[in-house]
Each structure stands twice: as C-alpha cells, then as structure tokens.
Copies of this chain bind each other. A is one copy, B any other.
Amino acid sequence: MTDIDTIADRLNAIGNPTRLRIFRFLVRAGDNGVPVGRIQEELGIPGSTLSHHLKLLDSVDLVRRERKGTSLIYRAQFDGMRALVGSLVDECCADMPANSNVAQARRQSD
C-alpha cells in the first residue's frame, strides 16, 4: 500500500463527491454496515449508479461487502482507510513541517 499507484487509486476512489458521500455514510454507520437499499434511500442515488460506485470503492479495498439473505451489506474498511491516511502522513505528504529534519532526511534517502 506504500505503492504510489495504489495510493492514487484510493484517493481517486474517494475523490469524487458521490463516492465520498457514500463512503462517509458507511463510515458513520460503523461496523454493522448498511444494505445497498438503505444507502440508496438515504443518499438518493439510483441503484445502478450506486452499484457502480460501490464496486469501485470495493476494488480499492475501502469497503467490504457481505451477503445477508437477499441483501448485500456494505461496510467501510477501516484498515484500508487508516493505511491510506498513514501513507499520506508519513510516506508522502502531511505532518511534515517544511524543511524539517524529516523532510531533509527524506530528500537524501531518495
């Protein structure tokens, strides 16, 4: 997950307003997850569109699906998200006081 293309793929997955809304909704719903139908009602997204976005989120491991009867339950994949944020913070992008030792060290280790 340290791989830059993987990071970009995940960022891209939640870098779309519709998908970010979906993902946030799932995060807030917690570990119980939410069936597609309820996401659909709650966010007002047509089934086929929703399915398309969920598939993409699933493909980058930001959500997980599990069947329960006729319903499919989607849940946020917290580990995937934490890994992503972790990558941003320490491999790449944030919490790096510009020109800090960290930044300097990194410049040399490249």
Contact = CB atoms under 8 A, between A and B. Distances in A.
A9 B14 CA distance: 10
A31 B92 contact: no
- Mostly helix, strand, loop or mixed at chain A's interface? helix
Copies of this chain present in the complex amount to: 2
A contact residues, range: 35 or more
Given A11-B11, A107-B28, A82 B94 contact: yes
A5 B17 contact: yes
A85 B78 contact: no
Interface of A: 4-5, 7-17, 20-21, 23-24, 27-32, 75-76, 78, 81-82, 84-85, 88-89, 92-99, 103-104, 106-107, 110
